[in-house]
Amino acid sequence: MSQIDIGIAESERSSIADALSQLLADSYTLYLKSHNYHWNVTGPHFGALHALFETQYTDLALAVDEIAERIRALGHRAPGSYAEFAARTDVAEATVEATQAMDMVAALATDHQTVARAAARAISVASAAGDEPTAGLATTRQEIHEKAAWMLRSYLE
């Protein structure tokens, strides 16, 4: 394999890849949970929530690919199994208890905030290393998750 010479030292690329792997695990777990809730939501807000959850999991499906590809561009292996994601994620798995629509909304609002914090950590690590592409990717993800959390919290008011 040829050397990676993008102006970022290997130790910094390793730290960035680690932060991105956390963001990837959290994002994938949130993707799965959002998809689960899309399938299983019921009640008077069914139509709006079914559509909202679909919009969110569709965005996450594209995001996990972008995050994983950035990890690869930095010369590291992207985690890609349920076991790896489960070992890393800070997003709680969907539970049987969250069967009511507003419980789903509350759980997803919390989870989007969790992913926004993971993105903020990735921004910090990337910025310290001068990795603008990763900082930009993570900034976009942070903005998206903060907005999603706000939208979900609005349902609960």
DSSP 101-121: HHHHHHHHHHHHHHHHHHHHH
Across residues 109-119, what is the average pLDDT?
98
Check residue 98 and give its pLDDT: 63
**For the segment 22-56, what is each residue's pLDDT rounded down to a tens digit?**
999 999 999 999 999 999 999 999 999 999 999 99
Query: Which DSSP state fits 78?
Result: P
Residue 97 has pLDDT above 70, yes or no: no
Crossing angle of helices 101-128 and 10-40, rounded to 10°: 170
pTM of the predicted model as reported, rounded to 2 decimal places: 0.95
Check residue 146 and give its pLDDT: 98
Helix, strand, coil percentages in the chain from 3-state DSSP, rounded to 5: 75, 0, 25
Can you say whether the dihedral through the CA atoms of 72, 76, 77, 79 is positive or negative?
A: negative
